[in-house]
Structure 1
Amino acid sequence: MKKLFAEFFGTYWLVFGGCGSALFAAGIPNLGIGFAGVALAFGLTVLTMAYAVGHISGGHFNPAVSVGLWAGGRFSAKELLPYIVSQCAGAIAAAGTLFFIWSGKTGNVIDNTQKGAFASNGYDAFSPDGYSMISCFAAEFVLTMFFLLVILGATNKFSHTKFAGIAIGLALTLIHLISIPITNTSVNPARSLSQALFTGGTPLTQVWLFWVAPIAGALVAGFIYKNLLHKEHNPE
């Protein structure tokens, strides 16, 4: 149970910190943190929780990460579903907290006809910069694949694992710097689901892409790492 609570709180912090920065701080005139600040916020949530609870649960905070680690031979299949449920529960709880705070300001109403509403993800007309479904799928697939390759490599027993959290957090920051204009960045099905549930409308009907593409990318990364990159013995 400690592992599941760790995943719950870790995913909660990721959604609260990352999506919260987008909702509350990105667009403040003259003082807003912008896309770069939101990207950094997502990276910092993973970095901080990796060191806070990573030693308890492995610090996945993302269904795609759990699937990718399983595909790479680093995670048990029997733990997949409990982890994913805990991650989704944490993300939804965080989105609920964000909605409670956000709705406390006069005029804050979710308009699910607008792209990026309530920090949701989307494609076509709901892509921040108007990218097609195919482009968005490709971006989410490739970026999640490389995210998992970073995670699998940085946490390998022959790597400098004490710095794994830094590498993973910076990788997620880079991913957001690349893809916020494309999809508003998911690479995390739980994060996408939580915001879409509160947004409804088209963002909710499009959330399938932000499950399928990241999980597919994670599976490919697990296969690549396990069969092409992994070494059983120290290469030195």
Structure 2
Amino acid sequence: MTVNPPPSAPSLSARLTAEGFGSFLIVFVGIGTTLFTANLFADPGAGSAVYVAVALAFGLALLAAFASFAPVSGGHFNPALTIGAAAAGRLAWRDVLPYLIAQVIGGVIATTALIVVGLFGPDAWLEGVQDAGFASTGWGPLSPGGFGMPAAIVIEVILTLLLVLVFLSVTHPERGTPLAGIAIGLTFAAIQLVAIPVDNGAANPARSIATAIYGGIDPLAQLWVFLVFPALGAAAIGIAYRALFDGAAASEPADGPSVSPR
């Protein structure tokens, strides 16, 4: 009888390639929807419908990326999820920086591709979206609702906590669910519905970097908030998840707990 050997784990280069492609997919679809839908097909008073379209685009893109590449890399595509996974003991810390670099490169290639599309768009369209911040995250003038920096900080921390918590729960090696991609994608879409009016999107530093580099001085000056606070939130919930949910139960004899003689 022939026994096939178990498949080997993907190499680091394969995992990084998967993370880059997944990040590209999410940023290209999500930011592309933001730029094209919000600027070309938004009738007056239809802002909420645009928010829904953008949130669903991000969520569906994440679902597709997870279904395609999670078996290779774990399905992060987002520095916050990578940091949370490492803090929870799911990923070696030595792999964190390569993952983050691959995710940022994928996102930047995506926004660069959108710039190329914009070069062949309507007259002055590209200049207009860049002058408006190129869908960058931010507060004050960059906030669709006019919210300030403290609001952006709170939104980034809380929504990152929720996203990482769902990710760690549904991808747990022993208690995970086969519908993990759907849960993560819908969660990402839901948090965008909360975040877009406040800071134009949340919980993905790679996305923030990819848009800020084409958005001008203001997005770049505000970028630190969208790097520091998602990272802090992700690390905090990763450590908390490991302590609260991954602890081993104390074993007891089959006939019940023992009682010390007096």
Give the TM-score band, short-chain normalised. over 0.9
Higher CA-based Rg: 2
CA distance in 2, matches of 1:144, 1:231: 23
Using the alignment, how far apart are the partners of 1:111 and 1:201 within structure 2? 14
Task: Supply the AA of the counterpart residue of 1:6.
Answer: A
Q: 1:128 aligns with which of 131, 134, 144?
A: 144
5 Å matches for 1:157-196? 157-196=173-212
Q: Select 2:134's aligned residue among 104, 118, 130.
A: 118
Give the equivalent residue in structure 2 for 1:200.
Answer: 216
Code of the residue aligned with 1:38 in structure 2: it is V
Q: Distance in 2 between matches of 1:29 and 1:137?
A: 28
Range with greater deviation from structure 2 (207-216 or 159-168)? 159-168
Q: Deviations over 1:122-174 (max 9, x none)?
A: 11232111111111101011000110000000111233431100100000010
User: Is residue 2:37 matched to residue 1:21?
Assistant: no
| SS of residue paired to 1:141 | helix
Tell me the number of residue pairs that the alignment of Structure 1 and Structure 2 aligns.
Answer: 231
Establish whether residue 98 from structure 1 lines up as the match of residue 114 from structure 2: yes
Instruction: Measure how far apart 1:229 and its partner are.
Output: 2.2
SS of the residue corresponding to residue 161 of structure 1 reads coil
1:88 is aligned to 2:100: no
Contact 1:113 1:202 in 2 (8 A): no
* Residues 69-128 of structure 1: per-residue CA shift (max 9 Å, x gap): 0011111011011111101100000000011112321121146554xx211111123211
Q: Aligned with 2:179: secondary structure?
A: helix
- Flag as ranges the 4+ runs of structure 1 deviating above 6 A: none
Flag structure 1 segments of 5+ consecutive residues without an equivalent: none
Instruction: Provide the C-alpha distance between the structure 2 equivalents of 1:66 and 1:29, rounded to a whole number of angstroms.
Output: 35
1:50 aligns with 2:33: no
**TM-score normalised by length of structure 2:** 0.84
1:228 aligns with 2:240: no
